[in-house]
Amino acid sequence: SQKIEQNSEALNIQEGKTATLTCNYTNYSPAYLQWYRQDPGRGPVFLLLIRENEKEKRKERLKVTFDTTLKQSLFHITASQPADSATYLCALFYPPGGSYIPTFGRGTSLIVHP
């Protein structure tokens, strides 16, 4: 079965640095990949979507890459701020034959220190 791996250990960085979070998957590549942010006690909030034929997607200080050879997506936050502290989830969507119902990773906690 498909497995999604996100670092279970929290990522601690200093304000102003670039945070990089990793989402690795096994077996076949998803057609789409999404990233969500989740704050404590709240539901996840959608951030970005990237398709398998796209290498990179940007939105303000956020950047997502998708490497189907490495079976990996990287999520970058540049000029990080303490307000960026949250858990970040990746979600994979597979084509028919699988399903477009998303499979979520367990998330990585990001802590940005002032």
Partner 1 sequence: DVKVTQSSRYLVKRTGEKVFLECVQDMDHENMFWYRQDPGLGLRLIYFSYDVKMKEKGDIPEGYSVSREKKERFSLILESASTNQTSMYLCASSLNRDRTLYSNQPQHFGDGTRLSIL
Q: Can you give the binding site for partner 1, defined by CB under 8 A? A: 8, 31-32, 34, 36, 41-46, 49, 89, 91, 93, 95-96, 99-102, 104-107
Q: Closest distance between partner 1 and the C-beta of residue 42, in Å?
A: 5
Q: Which is nearer to partner 1, 11 or 31 (CB)?
A: 31
Q: Closest distance between partner 1 and the C-beta of residue 36, in Å?
A: 8
- Alpha-carbon distance of 106 to 70, in angstroms, equals 20
Q: Which is nearer to partner 1, 17 or 51 (CB)?
A: 51
- Ramachandran bin of 100, using left for φ above 0, alpha for ψ from -120 to 50, beta for the remaining angles: alpha
Q: Which is nearer to partner 1, 40 or 114 (CB)?
A: 40
DSSP class of 10 = P
Q: What's the Rg (C-alpha) of the chain?
A: 14
Kindly report the three-state secondary structure assignment for every residue of 43-77: CCEEEEEEECCCCEEEECCEEEEEECCCCEEEEEE
Q: Which is nearer to partner 1, 43 or 114 (CB)?
A: 43
Q: Closest distance between partner 1 and the C-beta of residue 80, in Å?
A: 23
